[in-house]
Amino acid sequence: EREREREMKEMKLNCSIFFMKLLVTQCLVVLCVSQDFDFFYFVQQWPGSYCDTKQSCCYPKTGKPAADFSIHGLWPNYRDGSYPSNCDPDSPFDDSKISDLTSRMQKDWPSLTCPSSDDLKFWGHEWDKHGTCSESLLDQHDYFASALDLKKRLNLFQILKTAGIQPDGEFYSLESIKDAIKEATGYTPWIECNVDPSGNTQLYQIYLCVDTSGSNIIECPVLPHGKCASKIEFPSF
């Protein structure tokens, strides 16, 4: 009888230890997932400014892109301003996983680097460097689809045009550009500038912040470094 009681106590103890280990493991999994990154920068670039530099540009093999902002990337970041990169070398870019998105990506996410390409190298770079750092929440297809959906919702070209800001080679105040985007989206953007061959500061990239689901715009917890002039050129394309 005593032996049986001892066995029962051992069984209860073993069960308790098992469930405690299971609980700790689940907590660690949740902790790891939640600490992968804190938010995304969703970055769109103006092709006219990319091309209007000493470096110049090359159009993709599909031809000259439309005169519209295009996606540069969806980049995981931390609240302290740092960011993860190249998080999973065992998860390489596989274009077969996004075959249903290819036509949209050629339109909204073209490569302008030289030599002219079919965009795959650019997309692969974005996945390998940035996308792999959010794959605990977004697989490869979801990552690219999320960026495309954000682009569709955030029509920066139309937002600026409505505010009288157009790619006509004229100079516009930095604040007027920010205000137009904030009024339309409800959130404050960050503007990145570059310099044309004549030394003029021009509108290059627009950053908005997105939560870890890749779906919802949020106020940026931290902004990148860099600054623009008070008036910047919006070059044609």
Active-site residue, from 1, 3, 130, 175:
130
* Tokens encoding 75: 């980049």
The one catalytic residue among 1, 3, 7, 126: 126
The catalytic position among 72, 141, 170, 233 is 72
CA 103 to chain CA centroid, nearest Å? 19
Closest CA to 41 of 208, 186, 190: 208
Handedness of CA 66, 59, 46, 123 (dihedral sign): positive
130 counts as catalytic: yes
Any residues with CB less than 8 A from the CB of 61 and at least 6 apart, and which? 116, 117, 118
Residue 76 burial class via C-beta count within 10 angstroms: exposed 0-12, middle 13-18, buried 19 and up: buried
- Active-site annotation holds for 126: yes
What residues are labeled active site?
Answer: 72, 126, 130
